[in-house]
Amino acid sequence: MGFSINVDIGGTFTDFFVTQDGKEIQIGKTPTTHYELSVGFMKGIREMAGLYQSDLRDFLGQAEAVRYCTTLGTNAIIERTGPKLGLITTAGFEDTIFLGRGRSWADGISLQENKDLARIQKPEPLIPRDMVVGVHERIDSFGQIIAPLKREDVLEKLQILVDRGAMGFVVCLLWSFANPVHEQMVKQLIEDEYPEDYLGSMPVILSSEVSPKSGEYTRFVTAIVNAYLHGVMGDELNKLVTELRTGGYQRPLALVHNTGGMKKVSRSRAVLTHNAGPVAGLHGARTLGQVYGYDNITFTDMGGTSFDIGVISGGRVRAYDFIPVIDRWRTNISAIEVKSIGAGGGSIAWINKLMGNALEVGPQSAGSMPGPACYDQGGEEPTVTDADLVLGYLNPENYLGGKMLLDPDLSTRAIEKKIANPLGLSIVEAASRIRRIIDARMGQEVFKEVVLKGHDPRDFVLFAVGGAGPTHACGFAPYLEVSKVLVPFFSPVFGAFGASTVNIQQVWEKSKTLKIFQWATQSYSEDIDGFNAVVNELKDLAIRDLRLEGFREDQIHFQLEIDMRYGMQYNLTKIISPHLNVKSPVDFKDICDIFTRDYSAIYTPEATFPVGGINIECFYLTATVETPLHKIEPDQINDPQPPAEARRDSRKAYWAGVGDYQDTPVFNFGALKPGNMIAGPALIEAPDTTYVIEPDWQFTLDPYYTGVLERV
Amino acid sequence: MNGMAYGRDMEVVQRLKPEPMTAEESAAQEKIDAVEFEIFSHKMNMIAQEGKETTMKLGASSGMRWGDVAFGIYTAQGDLAVVATGIWFHAVLGQIPVKYIVKHWLNEPSVGVKDGDSFFWNDPFYGGVHGADMGLVAPVFHKGKLVCFVGAIVHTGECGGTDPGGMSNNARSKYDEGLLVPPLKVGENYALKEDILNMFGAMTRDPRTMILDIKARLAASRIAQRRILELIDQKGLEFFIGALRRILIVTAEAARKKVRLLNDGTFRQPRFMDTVGANDRLVKVNVTLKKKGDKITLNFEDTTPMIPDKPINTFFQGIIGLCMVYFCGWFFHDLPANNGLLEILDWEFPDNAIVNAKGDAPTSLSPFTQCIFAHGMFLAGARMTYNLDPSRAVAAWFQGFGVPIFGGMNQWGEPIADITPEINATGAGARPDIDGVNGAGSWFATMSDCSDVETTELDRPFLYTYRNYFQNSYGHGKYRGGLGVGFGLMVHHVPWVALGSFGFGSKFPATMGIFGGYAVPPVFVQVVRGSNFKALLSEGRSNLVNLDEMYAPGNPEQGHRELHHISLTIQPYMNGDTFYVPVGGGAGYGDPLERDPAMVIADLREQRTNAWAARNIYHVAYDQKTLRLDSEKTEVLREEARAKRKERAKPYEEFEAEWRQLRPPEEVLQHYGTYPHPSEGLQAGPPGM
């Protein structure tokens, strides 16, 4: 074994997590270089090589894997700087992507924003209306061709797009997931008519290939976002691959996917790379959970501007009934849900005068620019970070390991002027209230997200990562009614750590309606072949794909999940199928029983309705090749008393329970040893975060260097 | 029965404002910490959101599928304190059935209200709108004490009336409108009663949808119940009861504060409608808003009398509900939604008016009348709120419905009866600084969704011929309304299906513009029986892609073509027949002559408008081939247009004198009342009123 290099690019920093021979861990951070991400990437690689006393060539030459969570392309979507694409769709449905099922104006914005009906707006489209053409063809709900596709019609419409400057084509026809023949014919015609030497490498993306699922709006959008990202990412990734190769790296660069696996660049769909970092983090939490024997984990990541929530249940990271919105675009990829809520250190506190001068925090955020008032970047609004500073929790001289100096006077002034004076409160009371409110909101949002997935958060272990996670964990944990919070050692680079834990994996999916328990006859279906045909088709695709990656069939592990519903229900509930293939109606009964069992557990037994008929609507076959993981070994346990060198000067911090500032001990995280215990109130300063140990909590550094916060 | 003689309870429906504070609620107020209250409010909203999302996940009807759902938390007296919905009328209407339950069943030994019970209703007299809207609540008990109610209201649609789908054009009394269930116990001991579900199934055309929707409401209620009990265990019962009440108090105070900021005055807006269901008739709803201090009073003097045998009557409480749709979405958008908002509102309904239904009068098309009222609210409301915030004094979204309704068997051999979802794709009204949003949704159900074509085709026996934006389907203006949608359905896979549609505004516009903006053009239905459309498709000869082509010369579709009012009685259509409907766009804002010519060119390029409108409405000069704008010539054309306007102008007295000579045909005035002022010479109401 050699080096395993894992990289996660974030908005501010690019994070690195490297192991040598499955151990010898090093972590690092470099500033993200937005103008060209590969610059920061390669700088970080050099720095990591240095940590192993190696030069770049030796380091990359010995690297067995480079795994990458990229945000390439996401900015292009937000800024609309991607390629000019042409959309070919079914004539009569040219406005589908603009109509957006009516409510596309509400996708990707907060509940509060979408209540202000006089000011709503739909997003600027990724493909303008004059780059959309309709071809005459029609397939119906049974996949039958009702109107044939005409070659001349396609060529005529294609010419319009070419004349208007199309740099790529997205082909999105109705019912193509049930019968892709027309989409395939369009692609063939484009390739025949405009061979590669004429058009260069202009992509032709088919909705039936990117997303063979029912529901044309999300399928079309998924294909368009994929094409858009593909156009942006191609060049940048090629540049990066070339630099890695020049540096001595000989294996493929692997991209982490938001579906929870990874694939090499050439076999990755662009749309699957969006939000890969948080999903990788969730996988990291699962891996760490395995070390401890925790199967059920609520994962939270609180940063400057966002608060991400993910769930691991039964030891698995699962995709739920979830429509991932990328920027303002509703897609249908089977992404792992990491829900982001508008709360973070930058959340702004304000007074709602209309509502009787109620103190509110968020959803507006000061972001990283201008940021909290104490950043002294022009921000005048009081934020959660300002409150934390006024309360004495943050060290103005040692924030982010001293990389950023904070000005407590600016925080005090902002809170005094905007909150304390108008409400007739002391400054510290105002700051304390800001903190209580944001902690409650975060805790309650996390609670709702976990229960909506059918779980009880009280039975889950809470992980808190991110720069502000350990600062607020004791505050929001009570709203989940948990008394134990884990802050992993790799918390500052958790996405990169998570990348090191994902397997080679892809989900193959297809919509197909099968009425496996029939209402009219109250009997189980006998359509054994219908079920098996879909599974076998997906299996063939998966095997073919993974063979191209160099794996043998016997290395591949399959798991089948299916979306199911009662009778006329619209929404779907996903279950894990007990059978990969079915042999008789008895197997359908097994599947129905599991559906009713899971449904009953999530929605109460009163909600079940098996006599109304049970349908399968979509198949998801996950093909996984397990990759060997580095082992996380425990260190030896030391005395509970922290060493003297871990103590820093104490400082005054405000504790609501005490009702006053109190001289509070401060510790240096880096000097703590496994086994050390610290009773609250206390503060622990790490390079990227500050632990706030509230009075009735206790901190323990465990043998895995995880900070364990427990309510006493 | 507490003295009620099996008739309607006229008293409970009046109790729309919050009930007087109980001694217990009052005693709790002083102890409520401000921060704890904020945290509590947020938690209650989380619970309501969870309830709403769960309801939507589990239900089956079109309304349920696409978000026509409200989930509420009610005080023990029945006031709605917290709601998660985009259908704001439920924020005040859901409380009536709950207050009914408290009044009649709580102490009735043969019924009672106990832990594990659930109650259902769809009688519009209590639900406020129409029988298609059905609700279910569950009481929440803590240690044997009733502490609140939780429940969901959903437009299930099909309710067993004379026409499938929940809206009966031909209803002549409430007995033609199917199920009319006053609040009724349907579950005990945490189980629904199968005999009652069986009855509901037997009385409606689509039993599976009916029952799945009921189960969905109940499952969500149980989850909310669980959360609330956990919260009470943490915070204490006294805090819970007091804080739930506090939500109503602070909402009412905030509403008063905001209303005080408006100018005092009287704002009038007469509104008219062109149908009474199956017949083209004229009716009037005269909307007057009187604003003084922190109160707004609604008045309906001079409104068409109640029509005892036509389904467009509405109960007065439905009007109050619809008033909330405007308030919550466009005026009180920054306040919580609950019936505390009604503290700013008073109302005066004439005894005999279509906005104050009584007796056995049918009401299944009451949403029409409620919508023309609400359109009056939009127009008068924009003028009333302009001084406070001009950016939210906007033109109306499309008001006239335009909804196909169907019943029969689908391609899987299963019974169906419902509506199609394109009502959730109408255009939004124009704003003072931007155009209205194209295909934005339904103005009264803005969280709803118009579905994918594939989803509808999957279990409905139709093939969409097309579904695109409908050119010029909006009101023109300095800023134009958002586009509406044109679509066609071909009967497919089945021998026949019954189809009709509901809506109004085929004879004159349903949705007027504002501040010089144009109205939304009328909408109507086109059907082709014995159509050759299927053959055109299979032969590759169908070049029809949007609704405006249906009216253009050279339309290749052959067959027996009929044009109908959008309010079309349901009837059978055979395999291959086609049925075309538009949903309108939003109304216009400001004078079209002030529209930036570049925006007209952009609309031409995107085919959102056409050459005729560019020439005759916007007076823009451009090159027909390249669409290059000729700014100078445009200015000349616009000056000419302004000069012509002046030529046409006449003194107001002269105009009024001429106008007063005009009169609609007697036939269409059949139900109007005295013309032009129904209040003059008003007849006494029919027997039984």
Q: For residue range B389-423, list pLDDT tens digits in order.
A: 999 999 999 999 999 999 999 999 888 888 899 99
**pLDDT, mean of residues A684-698:** 93
Q: DSSP characters for A353-374?
A: TTTTSEEEEEEEE-TTTT-SGG
pLDDT in the model for residue A200? 57
Residue at B539: amino acid letter: E
3-state secondary structure of B176: helix
Cite the DSSP H helix spans in B7-83: 23-29, 34-58, 62-65
Is 60 exceeded by the pLDDT of residue B684? no
Is the pLDDT score of A71 beyond 80?
no
Instruction: Return the residue matching tokens 């970092």.
Output: A277
Look at residue A27 in the predicted model and tell me its pLDDT: 87
Q: pLDDT by residue (tens digit) across B428-438?
A: 999 999 999 99
Among the residue ranges A299-303, B188-192, B221-225, B306-310, the one predicted with the least confidence is: A299-303
Q: Is B333 on the interface with A (CB under 8 A)?
A: yes
Q: In the prediction, which pLDDT does A1 show?
A: 62
Helices and strands: H and E segment counts in chain A: 18, 34
Contact by Cβ (8 Å): A77, A329:
yes
Residues of B in contact with A92 (CB under 8 A): 464-468, 544-546
Measured between CB atoms, does B605 come within 8 Å of chain A?
Answer: yes
CA B588 to chain A, closest CA, distance in angstroms equals 14
> A281 to each of A457, A463, A490, how far by Cα in Å?
19, 11, 10
User: Angle at which helices B34-58 and A585-603 pack, to 10 degrees?
Assistant: 160
Residue of B38, B190, B247, B608 to mutate for A, most A C-beta atoms under 10 A:
B38
Task: State yes or no: pLDDT of A130 exceeds 90.
Answer: yes
Question: What's residue A319's pLDDT?
Answer: 66
* CB contact B398 to A (< 8 Å): no
The pLDDT of B431-450, averaged and rounded, is 93
The DSSP code sequence of A58-96 is: HHHHTEEEEEEE--TTHHHHHHT-S---EEEEETT-TTH
Residue A66's CB is within 10 A of a number of other CB atoms, namely 23
Structural domain spans, chain A: 3-75+235-273, 80-229, 276-343+453-499, 348-438, 503-625, 644-711
Alpha helices in B296-344 (DSSP H): 316-326
C-alpha span between A299 and A281 (Å, rounded)? 9
Question: pLDDT tens for residues B535-570?
Answer: 999 998 887 888 888 888 888 999 999 999 999 999
Angle at B85 between CA B81 and CA B86, to 5 degrees: 130
* List of residues 6+ apart from B631 with CB closer than 8 A: B597
CA–CA separation, B83 and A463 (whole Å) = 32
Of the two residues A451 and B111, the one the predictor is more confident about is: B111
The bridge status of strand A660-668 relative to strand A682-685 is parallel
Residue B649 has a pLDDT of: 94
Chain B nearest C-alpha distance from A103 (Å): 6
Touching B: A residues 351-380, CB under 8 Å? 354-356, 358-360
Q: Report helix, strand or coil for B121.
A: strand
Q: Is A606 in contact with B50 (Cβ distance < 8 A)?
A: no
* Residue carrying structure tokens 């919050």: B18
Gap between the Cα atoms of B446 and B429, Å rounded: 13
Q: What is the pLDDT of residue B686?
A: 53
Neighbours of A484 (CB within 10 A): 13
B450 touches chain A (CB under 8 A): yes
Q: Identify the pLDDT of residue B457.
A: 96
Check pLDDT > 50 for residue A102.
yes
Residue of B193, B426, B452, B609 to mutate for A, most A C-beta atoms under 10 A = B452
Contact A678, A658 (CB under 8 A): no
| Residue percentage of chain A with pLDDT more than 90 | 62
Domain A3-75+235-273 top-level CATH class: alpha beta
CB < 8 Å to B607, chain A: 129
- Among B186, B206, B215, B410, pick the best mutation site for testing chain A contact (most A Cβ within 10 A): B215
Phi, psi of B517 (to 5 degrees): -70, 155
Q: Nearest Cβ partner of B425 from A102, A440, A612? A: A102
Interface of B with A in 417-446 (CB under 8 A): 424-425, 428, 431, 434, 437-442, 446
B262 touches A: beta carbon within 8 Å: no
Q: What is the CA radius of gyration of chain A?
A: 27
Q: How far off is chain A from B136, nearest CA to CA, in Å?
A: 13
Q: Do A130 and B606 touch (CB under 8 A)?
A: yes
Q: How confident is the model at residue B448 (pLDDT cuts 50, 70, 90)?
A: confident
pLDDT of residue B452: 96
**Is A94 in the B-facing interface, judged by CB distances under 8 Å?**
yes
| Cα separations in angstroms, A482 against A257, A269, A313, A489, B70 | 31, 39, 16, 20, 31
B451-464 tens-digit pLDDT: 999 999 999 999 99
| pLDDT tens column, B35-63 | 889 889 989 998 999 899 889 888 888 77
Whether the predicted pLDDT of B332 surpasses 60: yes
Burial of A513 (0-12, 13-18, 19+ CB in 10 A): middle
Work out the average pLDDT over A502-513: 89
pLDDT digits (tens, 9 = 90+) for A615-672: 999 999 999 988 776 677 888 999 999 999 999 999 999 998 888 999 999 999 999 9
Report whether pLDDT(B670) > 90: yes
Query: If you count them, how many residues does chain B have?
Result: 689
Task: Indicate if the pLDDT at residue B4 is higher than 70.
Answer: no
Mean pLDDT value across residues B210-229: 94
Q: How far is CA A407 from the centre of its chain?
A: 33
Q: Check: CB of residue B73 under 8 Å from CB of residue B148.
A: yes
Looking at this protein, which amino acid is placed at residue B361?
Answer: A
How far does the CA of residue A232 sit from the closest CA of chain B (Å)? 26
Asked if pLDDT for residue A474 goes beyond 60, the answer is yes
Given a cut of 80, whether residue B382 has pLDDT beyond it is yes
Facing residue for A437 by CB, picked from B38, B449, B492:
B38
Selected residues 59-88 of chain B with any CB under 8 Å from a CB in chain A: 59-61, 64-65, 67
Chosen for mutation from B458, B467, B491 (greatest number of chain A CBs closer than 10 Å) is B458
B197-215: pLDDT as tens digits? 999 999 999 898 999 999 9
| A165 contact B CB<8A | no
Q: Quick one: residue B166, left, alpha or beta (phi over 0 = left, psi -120 to 50 = alpha)?
A: left
pLDDT band at B317 (very low <50, low <70, confident <90, very high): very high
Q: Which of A88, A94, A99, A359 to mutate to test the interface with B (most CBs of B within 10 A)?
A: A99
Q: Does A447 touch chain B (CB under 8 A)?
A: yes
On the question of a common fold for A3-75+235-273 and A276-343+453-499, the answer reads: yes
Helices (H), B59-88: 62-65
Count CB-CB contacts under 10 A for residue A207: 29
Q: Structure pTM? A: 0.91
- Enumerate the residues of chain B whose CB falls inside 8 A of the CB of residue A606: 187, 190-192, 215, 218-219, 222
CA distance, residue B421 to nearest chain A CA (Å)? 10
Please write the tens of the pLDDT for every residue from B496-540: 999 999 999 999 999 999 999 999 999 999 999 999 999 999 998
Question: Is B633 at the interface with chain A, CB within 8 A?
Answer: no
Q: Tell me, yes or no, if A445 comes closer than 8 A to chain B by beta carbon.
A: yes
Confidence category of residue B244, pLDDT binned at 50, 70, 90: very high
B453 touches chain A (CB under 8 A): yes
Residue B688's pLDDT band (cuts 50, 70, 90) = very low
Q: How many CB atoms within 10 Å of residue B675? A: 15
Q: What does the alpha-carbon distance between residue A208 and residue B346 come to, in Å, rounded to a whole number? A: 57
Peptide bond into A396 cis (omega under 30): no
Fold of A276-343+453-499: Nucleotidyltransferase; domain 5 (3.30.420)
Q: Are A280 and A69 in contact (CB under 8 A)?
A: yes
Grouping H, G, I as helix, E, B as strand and the rest as coil, residue B188 is strand
Task: Give per-residue pLDDT as tens, A329-357.
Answer: 999 888 888 888 878 888 999 999 888 88
Range A80-229 has CATH code 3.40.50 = yes
- CA-based torsion, B197, B198, B199, B203: positive or negative: positive
B49 — alpha (psi -120 to 50), left (phi > 0) or beta? alpha
CB pair distance less than 8 Å for A103 and B64: no
Please state whether the peptide bond connecting residue A363 to the residue before it is cis, i.e. omega within 30 degrees of 0: yes
Query: Which residue in B421, B400, B410, B419 sits closest to B499, CA to CA?
Result: B419
Structural contact between residues B569 and B545, judged by C-beta atoms closer than 8 angstroms: no
- Considering only alpha carbons, which residue of chain A is nearest residue B447? A103
What residue of B is the nearest CA neighbor of A447? Answer: B46
The upper half-sphere exposure of residue A460, i.e. CA atoms within 13 Å in the direction of its Cβ, equals 30
Report the pLDDT value the prediction gives residue A340, as an integer from 0 to 100. Answer: 81
Instruction: Find the residue in A nearest to B547 (Cα).
Output: A92
Q: What is the pLDDT of residues A243-256, one digit of tens each?
A: 999 999 988 899 99
State the burial class of residue B369 (Cβ atoms within 10 Å of its Cβ: 0-12, 13-18, 19+). Answer: buried
- From chain B, the residues in CB contact with A114 under 8 A are 446-447
- Helix B207-235 to helix B237-260 angle (10° resolution) is 110
Q: Do A513 and B546 touch (CB under 8 A)?
A: no
Give chain A's mean pLDDT.
90
| Half-sphere exposure in the Cβ direction for A276 (13 Å, CA) | 33
Residue with tokens 């990829």: A333
Q: What is the pLDDT of residue B1?
A: 47
Please tell me if residue A646 touches chain B, with a CB cutoff of 8 Å. Answer: no
Please give the share of chain A, as a percent, with pLDDT higher than 70.
Answer: 98
Summarize the confidence of residues B634-649 as an average pLDDT.
97
Element (H, E) at A603: helix A585-603
